[in-house]
Amino acid sequence: MHEDIAKKSYIESIGSSLGAEVAARLRALADTDAGWDGSDAEAMSLDSLSSLETFFRTAGRFSDDIGFFLGYEGEILINWEDRTGSLIDMSFFDGYAEISSDLEDRRFAIHDPDLYHRFANKNLIQA
């Protein structure tokens, strides 16, 4: 019960900066039950959602077309195209985020200034 209230609060916070469509997508992902893959995938992690909220509160909207997905371990995944058209994936976990591209994979603590430095030039992000 408390976890549902916390998820709702985080989603409302994210939606206030990214819009109703993003909030609706996150609510749909939050409503997904464990086993959504037909096997043993986990439901949305509250820790992942907390890290996502911290990230967007700090970085803001950096792309006009961000996809939101749920990973096997309950982590939230986002993706977007960088300025060269390459797909960038970012996964959120308890206190950290991982960014993956064709060029590299990087892991950052969610409060690491180097993470946000990568997002200083909106829509020009490369992993």
Q: What is the pTM of this model?
A: 0.90
The distance in angstroms from the start CA to the end CA of the chain is 37
Query: Which regions of 11-85 does DSSP assign to beta strands (E)?
Result: 67-70, 76-81
CB-CB contact of 102 with 86 (8 Å): yes
Cα(40)–Cα(3) distance, rounded to whole angstroms? 20
Segment 41-65, tens digit of pLDDT: 999 999 999 999 999 999 888 888 8
Q: Domain ranges in the chain?
A: 2-117
**pLDDT tens-digit profile of 78-104?**
999 888 888 999 999 999 999 998 888
Please name the helix (run of DSSP H) or strand (run of DSSP E) that holds residue 92, with its range, or none: strand 87-92
